[in-house]
Structures are given as structure tokens and as C-alpha cells.
Amino acid sequence: MSQNYFKDILETDGLSIGYKQRRGEDLCLLSDLNLTVRRGELVCLLGPNGSGKSTLMRTIAGLQAPLKGRTLVEGVPIRERNFGEIARLLSIVLTERLQVGNLSVYHIVSLGRHPYTSWMGRLSDKDESMIKWALEQVGLWKYANKFINQLSDGERQRVMIAKALAQDTPLIMLDEPTAHLDLPNRVEIMRLLRNLAKETDKAILLSTHELDLALQAADIIWLMSKNNDLKIGAPEDLVLSGSIEDTFKNKSFSFDRKTGNFIMNYQKKQKIQLVGNDVMGFWTQRALSREGYQVTREKTDYCSIHLIEDRMEWEIHSNGEVTNCKSIQDLLLGLNTYL
Ligand SMILES: Nc1ncnc2c1ncn2[C@@H]1O[C@H](COP(=O)(O)OP(=O)(O)OP(=O)(O)O)[C@@H](O)[C@H]1O
């Protein structure tokens, strides 16, 4: 543990990232970055493919040389330190699936203690208690003696997080920790990482393509765009400023600031009035938009749809006629006969 208390666990000082070219100018992806990650903070790095997320993560971790500037963890410039010293400052969880099926969960997590063990790798009482603590944090102590190939992908990811926790570093970095996982496991890993940041007071920096989860879990988002730009802010600030919308703008879908969802852009058909609110209204509107209708609260020339919420039914009102529908599927079929 460091003697000094650093509020900003990670700092970059005039950091420029990119690639040195043999001929011509260097490929500079981002320049003069002065970034910080504070104690207890979960920061999610987001951006489209090829925007430079991996390059930034690798450069921060000291795995790739910066074009300019430096990274400091708890005030220590990491590229000036040796491997053992860096391993006490930051731990990294990479995306690759673990291929070592014949190692136990306990053994893998114990590898996180390598910066503290002797060259023989003998574990002290403190090492053993850290390993137990780390496995308890991710809810896998009961699996300590299982082999890694007996675990699901979500459980393996939790083992790797436990290994990083056992390493006991102020900064934990994770490269796409939710890749290869199903939705419940993706949510679970993000929730776990957020809780760990708060409970352990560590700084956690992760790269992800999961915009939705990052918006819900991150304290701060670092948003990279393809035109060498990095925007930083609370998720809600980046939504309200339109930065998220701009970054992921595409002709086939758009980001809806009101709901935080991506909406596929379908060809617009007629305008339909929707009368009624709430959950049923939300899902009815989704279905109508998917079919290409423009949904409005105003009266239109065509028809209006009334929600009968207590019976979970829909009515199509058109030219004085009313058609009753028992489901959204019915409603969409019914509309085809009117329009
Ligand atoms: N070794 C390299 N030499 C030169 N250019 C590179 C090298 N590696 C990556 N690049 C370029 O740097 C840019 C950023 O790549 P990077 O892999 O950091 O993006 P990313 O945001 O992590 O992408 P993805 O979301 O697809 O993983 C890309 O244009 C890529 O072609």
C-alpha cells in the first residue's frame, strides 16, 4: 500500500497515443490527454470500432509506448518502473478466453499474488487470505477447488476479476470484460465492477462496446470518436449534450435521448395517433415505429389507436368504425387492412 493518499489514482500527463511509422508522419490517434481516474470510480471507455480504445488502454498500461507524455499511477510514472513494481500498481484483465483448463480456480487467483511472493511462489498467510477475500468478492469461494474448464464463461470472467483483486493494485483495467457473455452475465459483471469500485475504493477503467450498460453503470464515460476526439463526462451529461448521439450516428439507426435506446430507422409510413400512456403505450409505440408508422399524440387523417389498459387490449378507431385487437400482433395485422 502506498504511503501517500492519492485521490486521482490514474493520471495521464500530456499523453499522445498512436503508432510510429517507418516512413512519413506518425499515426496520432489522440494527443495531449490529461485524464484522471479517481479512487472508487468506475470509468468506461466507449467508442466505435477503430477509434483507438485498445491503443489507449495499452498505452495507459505501459504495454505500448506513448508518442508523447506519460501515465502515472498513484504519482508513479509507470514506464520508468520495472515489471514487478508496475504489477503492484495496476492489474489488467484481458479479453482472451483462458486456455488453461487444468488449473484450479484457486491456483489461477493465486497467480495474482506474484508481485508479493518469493521467487519460489510460496504463499504467505496474507496471500492466502487475500485470495480467499478476492474469491468471496466475486462470489466464487465455493468453486475454489474446481478446474477452470468446469466453469461457465461468466464464472471464468469472475475468476479473472478475482485474480486482479488478489493482485491488490489501486488501478484495475479491463479490456471488454463483458465480451462473450450473455445479457444476464453482462449485467452481473458490470454491477459487480461498479460495486467493487465503491467498496474497495479502487479505480476501475474498462473498455466496452456495451453503451447501454456503460450508461447505467459508469461514473464517468470516456467517449472516443473516429475524428481524434475524446469527450469526458457523466453518462447523462454526454447523452444530454448529444455527444453519444453524434458518436454513434448512423443512417440505419439513431440514439434516442429520451429513452437511452438505439432505434432502427425504418421507412416512414403514415402518421397514427396513439391514445394512452404507460408501459403498454411504450411497447405499442415501439411496435408501430418498427413497422415504420410515425406515432403522434395529435389527431391524424388516418386512424387512432386507443389503449384499453385494464383489459390489455387495443382499439383501432377509423372513420367511425372500431376494431378490437387482443395483442400487438393483432393490432399490426389490423392496421394493414386500414392503411
Ligand atoms: N500496430 C498498428 N500500427 C498502425 N496502426 C494501428 C496498429 N494497431 C492499430 N492501428 C490503427 O489504430 C486505430 C485504432 O485501433 P484500435 O485497435 O486501438 O481501435 P479500437 O477502438 O480498440 O477498435 P475495436 O473497437 O475494433 O477493438 C485503427 O485505425 C487501427 O487501424
* pLDDT above 70 for 56: yes
63 close to ligand 1 (CB < 6 Angstrom): no
55 Cα–ligand 1 center, Å: 6
Segment 180-219, tens digit of pLDDT: 888 988 999 999 999 999 999 999 999 999 998 999 999 9
- The CA 184 to ligand 1 mean position distance, Å, reads 29
Q: Hey, what amino acid is at 329? A: Q
Question: Would you list the domain boundaries of the chain?
Answer: 8-256, 271-338
Quick: pLDDT tens for 299-312: 888 889 999 988 99
| Cα–ligand 1 centroid distance for 145 (angstroms) | 39
Q: How many Å lie between the centroid of ligand 1 and the Cα of residue 19?
A: 9
| Candidate of 26, 27, 205, 227 to mutate for ligand 1, largest count of ligand atoms within 8 Å of Cβ | 27
Contact 18, 29 (CB under 8 A): yes
The answer to whether ipTM exceeds 0.85 is: yes
User: What is 8-256's CATH number?
Assistant: 3.40.50.300
Ligand 1 neighbourhood includes 27 CB (under 6 angstroms): yes
Q: Identify the residue whose C-alpha is closest to ligand 1 atom 2.
A: 19
